[in-house]
Chains A and B, each alone.
Chain A
Amino acid sequence: QITLKESGPTLVKPTQTLTLTCTFSGFSLSTSGVGVGWIRQPPGKALEWLALIYWDDDKRYSPSLKSRLTITKDTSKNQVVLTMTNMDPVDTATYYCAHRRPWGGVTFDYWGQGTLVTVSS
């Protein structure tokens, strides 16, 4: 079965760079159509899509955050890494990685449990 799990720091200081790792199983990021995305959710607020990487290394970013985000994959390790630079307290949120449903548009059919990242000095 498909599983994903996020890992990374729970606390970062303002201006620092956040690096999150998504480790997954049950699928391969070298299979045509497969993608892994990142979505975040500030406490008590709505979901916000951040980035997506496809099996062919095509990468998509939220326009509002594009300058601060980088998404990469390591197919041999079954991992996807998201980096976000210049962190600010407003970036405090639960960060999820998720498996893109392989057909049609970008919907997410399997999600990790999420990791809460707090930005504070």
Chain B
Amino acid sequence: EIVLTQSPATLSLSPGERATLSCGASQSVSSSYLAWYQQKPGLAPRLLIYDASSRATGIPDRFSGSGSGTDFTLTISRLEPEDFAVYYCQQYGSSPNTFGQGTKLEIK
């Protein structure tokens, strides 16, 4: 199965700054089938990005995804207070689909 490694484990930034989160895959992710989720404490994950770069319904355009093959990035252009959470990547190009271990985005 494909192993996803997210970096950094924790990212400390201030509101208004730009956040760059990385997701590396142990093998190439076919069809750029890579998604990003946001999870806040006590809540279920929320789908942000699918197919590496497509925003899910209702997701603000400050969230963008990019990448292909084994290297993917989630960028939050200008952090809002509500963006501080844990972010997970998921690949679904190969079975079984797998999740990364998460990046915690915390307020500096």
Contacts and interface: CB of A to CB of B under 8 A. Distances in A.
B72 interface: no
B96 A47 contact: no
Contacts of B96: 49, 60, 62-63
A95 to B, nearest CB: 11
Among B37, B45, B96, B101, residue most surrounded by chain A Cβ atoms (within 10 Å): B96
B99 A49 contact: yes
Among B33, B35, B46, B102, residue most surrounded by chain A Cβ atoms (within 10 Å): B35
A109 B93 contact: no
Contacts, number: 56
Interface of B: 1, 31, 33, 35, 37, 43-47, 50-51, 56-57, 88, 90, 92-93, 95-102
Size range of the interface on A?
20 to 34
Given A47-B88, A63-B1, A109 B47 contact: yes
A106 B100 CA distance: 15
Main secondary structure of the interface of A (DSSP, over half): loop
B92 A107 contact: yes
Contacts of A46: 88, 99-102
Interface string A71-111: 00000000000000000000000001010010011111101
Contact of B45 (A63, A104, A111): A111
